[in-house]
Structure 1
Amino acid sequence: MTIRFVLCADDFAMTEGVSRSILELLALGKLSATGAMTNRPHWQHLATELGSFSGRADLGLHLNLTCAAPLGPMQRVAPAGMLPRLGDLARAAATSAAARAEIAGEIGRQLEAFEDALGRAPDFVDGHQHVHVLPGVRGAVLRAIQRRYPEGTVYLRDPADSARAIRQRGVAVGKALVIAGLAVGLRSQALRRGIPVNRGFSGVSPFDSERDFGADLRHFLIAPGAAHLVMCHPGHIDDELARLDPVIATRALEHAALAAFVPPPGFRIARFSELF
């Protein structure tokens, strides 16, 4: 029996180099999904190119609340006009009603920017640094999807998996367990609202340039879930990336490994709708 899995590249539109890498891998059929940062200026001129893959890959919103500038004013969360670090965002979302209101507004703006550019809803929603699972953020994400889109048409990434599966894979185990812990309850909350979610998640990486990402990629397919999703972070390195994000050197390594990747026997890269 063939096991289908989604292979999703994060961070489209973060920089030109990251975006070009993802477009190349989509054209090669090496990815079945990518999430876009619609608050980044590159989104406006790259959206049409990405949109050419509609129907061939899942194109989604990579909700960004921690990198660069928001699309609208956020006086509590981003008083200087720049989004906060992850820890600061988590504290603000958990403790401040004003911050939660601003976050909900920015979620709406980023969804609207996707809709305006591609003329349709995203296929899915996930979050940069998994911000969509945070207390004070996840409720706003769930409400926005439920309110804006017909039931069952937009799926949500669940970055949780069983501790047993995470340990079997043996890649960034501690980090993956922390992310899975943060996501506890997301699946049931989404399903109650009629929002589909993946079942099984891997791809958490130590971002160590000494590692063999090709080998890690194969390990990410150990103990796959019933609707498994693997995330990745390929990219061509440019000066802008070095200013924006700590994940730099490994992106080129991921690109090369993905370009050469052939799923092992019995596995096939697929869109989310093909998993069922």
Structure 2
Amino acid sequence: MPRLILCADDFAFSTDTSHVIAELAADRRLTATGCMAVLPNWTSDARLLDTAPDTLEVGLHLVLTLEAPATAAPTLAPTGILPTVDHLQRAAARGTLPLAEIAAEIAAQFDRFESARGRAPAFVDGHQHAHALKGVREIVLDAIARRAPRAWVRTCADTPAALLARPFRGKALASAVHSLGLRRAAAARGIACNDGFAGHYDFARDYDTIFPAFLHRPGERHLVMCHPGTGARAGDAIAAARVREATALRRLPIAAMAGANGLAFPG
């Protein structure tokens, strides 16, 4: 039976956010979470996942934008902060990404994840989907093949019919375009991907109302990203949405909603 992978991005974005995600995982309201191992609170926050249900997949949420890097990265982060995703996209299109620095940064984030968790990540994705950019994706896939061969990688691609059946199709289509070819490149290295991807919206709508649409036309391993938290970190552009999502995920009948769309929810 097709299954729903409900993944909370941004574990360790703040310790408060980590507590919310750990609580939702303990209540079996999630099946996965992606961890920002680049952040200084990651090592202590990781302990919150030690008692998570066995059904929770814990992955590496690679960060190449908007945070302090784990390495010096003088070209990638000349001010000490990683660039915006728009900057990365333009550099990827021009073929001017500092690939050696990106490879070193990705390796360092793998090291931090493994040091805190004592194991390889169950999956790998990227903050703002930067892992899917051409040039970056090859480094990511090679790292997965070498360091986490059983892990799967996130693709934002989906069928046109599925993308058009859900809200905010423009955002979804843009992400899908950036992921074109990722599944094929992953398969060439023996790496699996999710099948179906949803979760895009404007971070302003009522989450209870919009969540059911993310389950329309699901794939076999249908991944829905979410971003629950407390909104306590200064400068967080989606602070209010994190709170709304956490509140909704605590009360939505997720298993029943998944079942109505032909999906198993094993949380």
Query: TM-score normalised to the size of structure 1?
Result: 0.90
**Counterpart-to-counterpart distance in 2, 1:224 and 1:10:** 20
Amino acid at match of 1:131: A
**Counterpart-to-counterpart distance in 1, 2:95 and 2:76:** 10
Tell me, yes or no, if the aligned pair for 2:97 and 2:135 is still in contact at 8 Å.
no
Corresponding residue to 1:227 among 221, 225, 247: 221
Number of equivalences: 262
Shift of 1:89: 2.1
Residue 151 (structure 2) pairs with residue 160 (structure 1): no
Amino acid at match of 1:141: V
| SS, match of residue 175 in structure 2 | helix
**Counterpart-to-counterpart distance in 2, 1:214 and 1:37:** 26
Shift of 1:65: 0.6
Shift of 1:180: 0.5
**Counterpart-to-counterpart distance in 2, 1:126 and 1:51:** 21
Shift of 1:19: 1.2
Residues 75 and 96 of structure 1, relative CA distance in 2, 3 Å threshold: farther
Q: Give the match for residue 187 of structure 1.
A: 183
Q: Give the match for residue 100 of structure 2.
A: 101
Q: Give the match for residue 199 of structure 1.
A: 195
Tell me, yes or no, if the aligned pair for 1:20 and 1:236 is still in contact at 8 Å.
no
Residue 7 (structure 2) pairs with residue 17 (structure 1): no
Residue 7 (structure 2) pairs with residue 8 (structure 1): yes
Shift of 1:81: 1.1
Identity fraction in percent: 44
Matches within 5 A, 1:119-138: 119-138=118-137
Unaligned runs of 5+ in 1: 272-276
Amino acid at match of 1:251: R
Show CA shifts across 1:24-43 (max 9, x none): 11111100000000010110
Shift of 1:98: 6.5
**Counterpart-to-counterpart distance in 2, 1:83 and 1:192:** 30
Show CA shifts across 1:213-258 (max 9, x none): 12221111110011111110111121x2x32x31111111000110
Q: Give the match for residue 114 of structure 2.
A: 115
Unaligned runs of 5+ in 2: none
Shift of 1:93: 4.1
Residue 212 (structure 2) pairs with residue 218 (structure 1): yes
Tell me, yes or no, if the aligned pair for 1:77 and 1:89 is still in contact at 8 Å.
no
Q: Give the match for residue 173 of structure 2.
A: 177
**Counterpart-to-counterpart distance in 1, 2:189 and 2:15:** 36
| SS, match of residue 126 in structure 1 | strand
**Counterpart-to-counterpart distance in 2, 1:187 and 1:96:** 21
